[in-house]
Amino acid sequence: MLSGILPILLFILIGIGFYVVSVYNGLQKFKTQIAASIQEIGNQLKRQASLIPNLETSVEGYLKHEKGIYDAITSARKAVQAADKSGNMNDMDKAVNQLQSMIPQIKVLVESNPELKADKTVTKFMDELTDTSDKLMYSRRTLIDLTQMYNVKLVTFPSNFIAGLFGFTAEKGLVTPTSGEHIEVSSKEMEDVKVNLQK
């Protein structure tokens, strides 16, 4: 009787062992992917940090009367460099947000200035800046998704027991401010929506 139960118990223990190893490896994989996503955001910021001074030099002559835009470019460059040096995710995210808000302003300026629009160097830098901006948004989305999947494993049964057993803790991911322009709708944006709905 006992000899018949032992193989069943052994089989169950082996199954539990495989499950524990599988969950542990899955959590470690998420942590590695989250770290890689943060590194990718840093890499894209470095790319923008190298593009911005070149763009600054290219448009400097055209921007003498556009002090606000020129100051925004300079400020964004400094924010990117500071975020890169700190390696802090919150600093990186702030720098990304600053760049994202600046790019549409530069696009409008380039589109409204025939000399800038015709300048191939400026156009090339703008294309590269936009491309990098898109890659940054993708990297941020990837980080958000990975963090969410990892954190779900930490709170759902039975993986939460294994996570607790091995000391896994929640990842913050990106922290979004709860106030500011990103949650406010301007009257201009509302007008644009009305115009689009009437079409």
pLDDT single digits (tens) 82-139? 877 776 777 777 777 777 777 777 777 777 777 766 677 777 777 887 788 788 888 8
Distance of CA 197 to the CA centre of its chain: 31
Higher pLDDT, 147 or 74: 147
Whether residue 30 has pLDDT greater than 90: yes
Range of the domain at 152: 16-198
Domain assignment present for 1: no
Compute the C-alpha angle 169/171/176, nearest 5°: 145
Domain assignment present for 2: no
- Contacts of residue 45, Cβ cutoff 8 Å, sequence gap at least 6: 80, 83, 84, 92, 95, 96, 136
Domain assignment present for 87: yes
| CATH label of the domain that carries residue 155 | 1.20.1440.20
Q: How far is CA 194 from CA 52, 108, 181, in A?
A: 35, 21, 20
Domain assignment present for 11: no
Domain assignment present for 9: no
Domain assignment present for 25: yes
Q: pTM surpassing 0.85?
A: no
Give the total number of structural domains in the chain.
Answer: 1
